[in-house]
Homo-oligomer: A and B are copies of this chain.
Amino acid sequence: MSLDIAQQGLRERKRIATRRAIESAALGLVVEKGLENVTVDEISHRADVSPRTFFNYFASKEAAMLGESPELPTDGSVARYAGGELGSSALEGLGELISAASQESGEDAEIHTLRFSLLRQYPQLFTLRMTAMRSFEEQLATVVAERLRHDEPALDDESRRSKAKLITLVAFGVIRHSWSCWAENEGAMSLSERMRQSFAQLPGILSAGAA
């Protein structure tokens, strides 16, 4: 969390304001005109910056709509997870960890809400967001490996790395599932609730053999 908004010097505050203005302009225009009909020129104009400046803030039009990709939570849950205190297995605990991480976003609430609704409306955007998470995936895989070092100390490094990656990628599959279910049923359930449910469903898809 960055509550230090007020204590950063003019430069930094302006920078944040500009970034938000651009994000807000981008998202607003998508709502009004649809994803395909929004250009960088329009966004920059509405945000009161030059198109050139737009690209000083975001590498692409899509980046302005997606916002930053998530980071590892800073509330200590990572350490608890790695230490084996979160969840009864590396995979299950990972569900809780990610669920918690997706809560913690230092973002402007209004922008965040708008972005979520657009991610639901345009699956292509969600796909983009998932592919932008590669770095997050790798961070998580590292954490998972730590957890495994705790859970299964006998494992050699190579096997542990591989297993951690498998757990992480499976978890991302589950997240996609949660998102998909959540996006279909107009908010019948909160996303993190839905994530818990998908993770809970997971054991059932392995055990169930042919009738």
Interface residues of A (CB under 8 A from B): 84, 88-91, 127, 130-131, 134, 150-153, 162-163, 165-167, 169-174, 176-177, 180-181, 198, 201-211
A191 CB to closest chain B CB (Å) equals: 15
The main secondary structure of chain A at its interface with chain B is: helix
Asked if B210 contacts A84 (CB within 8 A), the reply is yes
Additional pairs, 17, CB under 8 Å, beyond known A91-B206, A152-B208, A165-B180 = A89-B209, A90-B205, A91-B205, A127-B134, A150-B211, A152-B211, A162-B177, A162-B201, A163-B205, A165-B177, A165-B181, A166-B205, A169-B174, A169-B176, A169-B180, A170-B170, A170-B177
Q: Report 19 cross-chain contacts, Cβ distance below 8 Å, ordered by A residue.
A: A84-B210, A84-B211, A89-B209, A150-B211, A151-B208, A151-B210, A152-B208, A163-B204, A163-B205, A166-B173, A166-B174, A169-B174, A169-B180, A170-B173, A170-B177, A172-B173, A173-B173, A202-B206, A206-B206
**Given that A127-B134, A131-B127, A131-B131 are known contacts, is A89 also in contact with B210, CB under 8 Å in the complex?**
yes
Asked if B202 contacts A166 (CB within 8 A), the reply is yes
